Structure formats: C-alpha cells, structure tokens
Chains A and B, each alone.
Chain A
Amino acid sequence: MVDPALVLSSVVTALLVGCIYGVLTLGLNIVFGVLRIVNVGFGAFVMLGAYITYFLYKDYGVNPLLTIPVSFAIGFALGYAMYYAAFRRLVGAPELSTLLATFAVGVLIQELARIAWSPDIRGFTWDIGVLELAGVRIVYSKVVAALSALAVVAGVYYLFTRTRFGLAVRAVVQDPEGAMVVGINVDRIYAVSMALGIGVTVAGGSILAIYLQQGIEPYMGIPYTLLAFVIAVMAGLGSILGSLYAGILFGFFEAASFLAFSMIKDALGLDILPYVLTRSAAFFLLLLTLLLKPEGLFRR
C-alpha cells in the first residue's frame, strides 16, 4: 500500500531537514543555555540570514555557501551589540522582561526588513544537480545545506567542549559567582555567547535559504520560532548535540506524521491538510515531552 520509494524519500528528507532544524535550534539554545534568555524574536534573525544569502547570491553572484560565514559574522556583531545595548541589564531579570525585549527586537527587525525590502516573497535557484538513488531524487543543494548545518553544530560543539572559552562558559553557566571569583569576565562571556547564538541563528537562516531557495519574506521566520521552541524542549534547553539529535528526530516525526495524515486523508477521503496537521502534531509532541520528560530527551 505504501510506495517504498516514497518512504525512502521521506527518510532522506527527514534527515536533511532535520539537520537544518538542528542548527536553527542550536542558535536558540546557546542564548538560552548561557544567558537563560528565551529569544522570542528568533525568527527575525533566521529571516535576516535568508535575505543575506538571497542578496549576495542574486545581486553579487556570491556562492551561497560562502554567504553562511558572512551571515555568521553579521549575526555575531549584531548579537554582541544587542547584548551591550539592552540584554546586559536583562540577565537574571524576570522572564516577562526578557520575553518582551526579545519579542520587541524581533518585531523591529521584521518591520525594518519589510520597509527596506518590501513584503514580496522572493526566491532564487541554485542548481548544482540532483542525485538519483533507487528512484529517489536527492537535490544536491539540500545535501550541501545539511552538511553545512552539521559543520556549524560540530564547530560550536568543539568550541564549547574542547576550548578554554568553552570551559569558562560552562563555569559561568554552573555558577556565575564562582566564575567571577576565579577571574572570569562574566559579562564578556554573556556578550560573546549572545553573539555566538545570534550568529548561529543568522547563519542558520542562510542554510535554511540554501535548503528552501524559496519563500523568502520578512515574516518567514515566525513558524521557525515555534518549531525551534518545540525542538529545544525536546533537546533539553541548553544542550548542543541534543539540538541536532532533536532536530533530526523532529524531521522524522514531521515526515512520519505527514505520511500518516496523507494516508488517513486518502483512506477515509477526508478533506484535511496533512501539512497543517503535522504542525499541530508538533505541539502534541511538545506537550508530551513536557509531561513525560521535561528536562529533555537528550540531556545527560
């Protein structure tokens, strides 16, 4: 009844898109994990990355892959500036303040983008070929996007677990006052972590743009905010590799529920939209995780 090629293709898509989800979630998770700030404006930074890739490729012919480090650098600078401009005062502030502040920054960036670049939906084509495997078409640019996502996750993982900076970050997370008395500039660790988190998010936006190549508009990031929250909760808030694992897991969940809803639709002749239902199923997954394993699935 189920076409094997369709299943195989779903598995491949789940894996590829899962890596993208993973890197996006990582951006959210770094900021939360170190500063305990939930970045509700997350989607705006994803959008920013997508536009950077779009303009650099379309207007200047820059290889889309090279736009990823550019986005990271811009995001890093933006995050650093944001920390000293506003968020420095919000570390340890009541959640409502940080939620409102990040929400406000997100809205600001989105509206500026709409004014600067118009609300038109844009897209580009970066065609580097297609791999045909057992009747499944795998688009190379999507593979490249997924591999870039893995590279970013690996880089962040290395930074946080194998370097002295990472050791200092872990010290700050575990005991900020202890970190102060050993001479760590806690303020700077927060600033750099925020910069890294936003940098990864904007770079993630570029990776997402390479993956999708379509649908680039000022509000495109909003659904990813929701998605990244669900995945971050599954990952365990603050967990680096967990973000990737949960992203991939979520990719599979999405593919499976999409297949299931499609089959239900066909079998029962119901007038439903499988993709929309998949999105609501994500919230069911969120509730389930919070109920059964609130500390996350991938947390040591």
Chain B
Amino acid sequence: MTVLAAYPERRRTWWQKIWDARAAYLFILPAYIPFIVFVLYPLINGLRLSFYEAGVNKAKWRFIGFDNFVRLFTRDDVFIIALKNTFLFVLIVVPVVVVISIFLAVIVFPLPRAAQSFVRMSFYMPVVSGGVVLAMVWIWIFNRDFGLLNYLLEIAGFYKLLGIPKIGWLAQTETALLSLAMVVISWSIGQPLILFLAALGNISEELYDAAKIDGASGWQIFWKITLPLLRPTTLFVLVTTTINVFQVFVVVLLMTLGGPANATQTIVYRIYENAFVFYKYGYGAAMGVVLLLIVGSIAYFQFKLLGQEVEY
C-alpha cells in the first residue's frame, strides 16, 4: 500500500490520453476525415438549418426557432400522409425481408456449394444492379396495358375469374404502395441472405447432433437452436433494413412521384421535394431531423428488446 501511495496515478487530461494513443488515432484518421466531412458536418449543419427559414439566398436566412417543426405537424397535411405511408412501408417491407431471407438461408444452406453460390448470386444481383435500372424494369412490369404482370395474370385467368378490369398497379391508391414495397423487397433480400448464410455456417454442428440424439424435430431444432443463435445477425439485419427502408426514395421518385393522390408519399421524398424543388432547405432539414429522431428511437428500442442476450 505504501508503495502504491508513493506512486499515485497521474491524472491525465483527455488531450494527453489522445497523445499517448496517437499512433492508433493516426491509423483511423483516413476513415474519419470523410466521415467528418460527409457525415458529421452535414448532420450538425442540418440540425442547425432546421431552425432557420433558409432558401437559396444565404443572406436572407432567418432564425425561426421551432417554427418549421410546428408547421410540419400542424399545417403540412402531406407530411403527415408521408409519415403514415413511411411507417406502413416499413411495417410491410422489414418483416418480409427478414422472414424471407432467414427462410431462404435455411433452405439454401444445406445445398451443395455450387447451388448455394447460384442462389446467392441470383439474390445479390439486384443489390449491385442499382435502383434506377431496377425501377425502370419494374415500371414496365407494372404497366397496365403492356406490363408483364398483367400479361401473366391475364393468361392465368385471374381477371376473368374475378370479373374485374386490369389493375393499374402503380395508378391505383390501393395497390401503388404495395407495388413499391414489392420492388424494394426484391432488392433488399440479397444482403441479409448472405449474412444469414454466413451466420448459419458459424453454428456448431455438435448442437444439431445433440438435438437430433435427444429426438428434437426439425421445427424444434430451428426454433430452439438456429433462430436464437442467429439473433445477433437478425438484430443487425433488422436495424439496417429498418434504417434503409425508412429512407425509401428512389422508387418513389422514379416510379410514382409520390402519387397517385399522395398514396406513395414518403418522408425522404418529401424532404427532397422541399429542399430541391421548392428550395426550402430549412424546412427540409426539419423533416430530416424528425426522420433522424424516428429512426434513432426505433433502432434504440430494437437494440433494447433484441440485443439483451446478444454477444458480439
């Protein structure tokens, strides 16, 4: 004790701590510079901007406190519609993506390596193809008169059976959002599928062998072993997919422009319209802040609920 007392730990300042670890900081600097320039600075500036009435002329920018936020929730009917649509979109797309990708991964995992690679490639192709190309293809698929979907449904006798006219998938309020959801689902499965396949490969075979010896059924094995052990990956997929789907934009811009009758208006599309069509940067930034708070809160609760027993 006396020895320890003779050499009390020096109280180091934060700057000294950084200086001591300067080699490590230098290593991460190349990654942090673009982060600061392209993420952190715009984020802080966006927060600041949300309290301003800001158009293209910087000289006329005016601090207005919370006015933009008040207007969003009291006078902007379209924003409220966009908010509802975005939540609905997330509620449709995220569970479908997670469930389908787990389901596919479990089916594909036992297949021979070549077959597994083929499935991976097939589902990953839309991820690398780019949203614009896919949106263009889907516009054609959904076309009321010349589209592939209606052509197939007509051949299958769907319209005759139900006695209804051909559906304009993107032209009707009842089907437009679902059609966009279908497009987003089609290109959102690739990445989770690869992650789940990798995660399945990390589950020890011994666990399955033991369960089989104990007489567990296939369903029990999946429910009691596979699914719990996929939990870290599921959490990751859930959080990243939720964030991505909240930011749905390209399909709206290219396929519906938020219509018909605002049925596919989403928050990010509304941000885009206000900032880049109406030149209301401050108001657009306020919408961005609302989106940040929503996504941040949901991700936080997802971590709270699902992340308790996860080991990273």
Partners in one complex: no
Q: What residues make up the interface of B, taking CB atoms closer than 8 Å to A?
A: none
